[in-house]
A = this chain, B = another copy of it.
Amino acid sequence: MTAQEGFAVDPWSVTEHRLDLAGMARSESVFALSNGHIGLRANLDEGEPHGLPGTYLNGVFELRPLPYPEGGYGYPESGQSVINVTNGKLIRLLVDDEPFDLRYGQLRDHLRSLDFREGVLRREAEWTSPAGRTVKVTSARLVSLTQRAIAAVDYEVQAVDGPVRIVLQSELVSNEQLPQGGEGDPRAAAVLEAPLVAEEHHAHGTKASLVHRTRYSGLRIAAGMDHVIEGPDGVSVTSEARHDQARISVTTVLQPGERLRLTKFIGYGWSATRSLPAVRDQVEAAITAARYSGWDGLVAEQKAYLSEFWSSSDIEIDGDVELQQAVRFALFHVLQASARSEERAIPAKGLTGPGYDGHSFWDTETFVLPVLTYALPGAVAQALRWRHTTLPLARERAAQLGLAGAVFPWRTIRGEECSGYWPAGTAAFHIGADIAVAVVRYVRATGDMEFERSYGLELLVETARMWRSLGHHDSAGKFRIEGVTGPDEYSAIADNNVFTNLMAQSNLKAAAEAANRHQLEAAALGVDTEETAAWRDAAKAMYIPYDEKLGVHPQADGFTLHQLWDFENTPQEKYPLLLHYPYFDLYRKQVVKQADLVLAMQIRGDAFTPEQKARNFAYYERLTVRDSSLSACTQAVMAAEVGQLDLAYDYTAEAALMDLHDLGGNTRDGLHMASLAGACIALVSGFGGLRDYGELVAFRPRLPSGLSRLAFSMRVRRHLLRVEITHEQTTYTLREGDKVRLQHDGEPFWVEVGAPVQRPTGKPTTGERPVQPPGREPARRAPQAGPMIGSVLAGSEHLAAE
Interface on A for B, CB 8 Å cutoff? 66-74, 79, 186, 400-402, 419-423, 426-427, 472, 474-475, 480, 482-484, 492-493, 495, 549, 557-558, 561-563, 578-585, 587-589, 799-802
Contact = CB atoms under 8 A, between A and B. Distances in A.
Contacts of A563: 472, 480, 482
A70 B585 contact: no
A421 B422 CA distance: 11
Contacts of A474: 561
A361 to B, nearest CB: 13
B584 A401 contact: yes
A401 B584 CA distance: 9
Given A483-B588, A557-B558, 9 more contacts: A68-B421, A68-B802, A70-B186, A70-B420, A422-B582, A422-B583, A482-B589, A483-B589, A558-B558
29 contacts: A66-B69, A67-B68, A68-B802, A69-B79, A69-B420, A69-B802, A70-B420, A70-B799, A71-B186, A71-B802, A73-B578, A401-B582, A422-B583, A422-B584, A423-B423, A423-B584, A427-B584, A472-B563, A474-B561, A480-B563, A482-B558, A482-B588, A483-B562, A483-B584, A483-B585, A483-B589, A484-B584, A493-B587, A495-B558
Given A402-B581, A493-B587, A68 B70 contact: no
Q: Which of A72, A422, A480, A558 has the most CB of B within 10 A?
A: A72
A587 B423 CA distance: 11
Assembly of this chain: how many copies?
A: 2
Of the listed residues A67, A475, A801, the one surrounded by the most CB atoms of chain B closer than 10 A to its CB is A67
B493 A72 contact: no
A423 B68 CA distance: 14
A556 to B, nearest CB: 11
B802 A73 contact: no
A72 B421 contact: yes
User: Could you tell me the dominant secondary structure of chain A's interface residues?
Assistant: loop
A69 B81 CA distance: 12
Contact of A562 (B186, B482, B799): B482
Contacts of A70: 186, 419-421, 799-802
Contacts of A584: 401, 422-423, 426-427, 483-484, 493
A71 B582 CA distance: 11
B72 A69 contact: no
Contact of A492 (B68, B475, B493): B493
Contacts of A68: 67-69, 420-421, 802
The list of the 7 closest CB pairs from A to B, nearest first, reads A69-B420, A483-B588, A66-B69, A67-B67, A74-B582, A472-B563, A70-B421
A300 to B, nearest CB: 46
B69 A401 contact: no
A580 to B, nearest CB: 6
A454 to B, nearest CB: 32
A71 B68 CA distance: 10
Contacts of A67: 67-69
Contacts of A492: 493
A495 B590 CA distance: 13
Nearest to A74: B582
A401 B493 CA distance: 20
A479 to B, nearest CB: 11
Contacts of A557: 558
Nearest to A419: B70
A407 to B, nearest CB: 10
Given A67-B67, A68-B68, A493-B587, A73 B582 contact: yes
A494 to B, nearest CB: 9
B483 A587 contact: yes
A480 B558 CA distance: 12
A87 B441 CA distance: 70
Contact of A73 (B73, B482, B579): B579
A73 B493 contact: no
Nearest to A485: B584
A492 B492 CA distance: 11
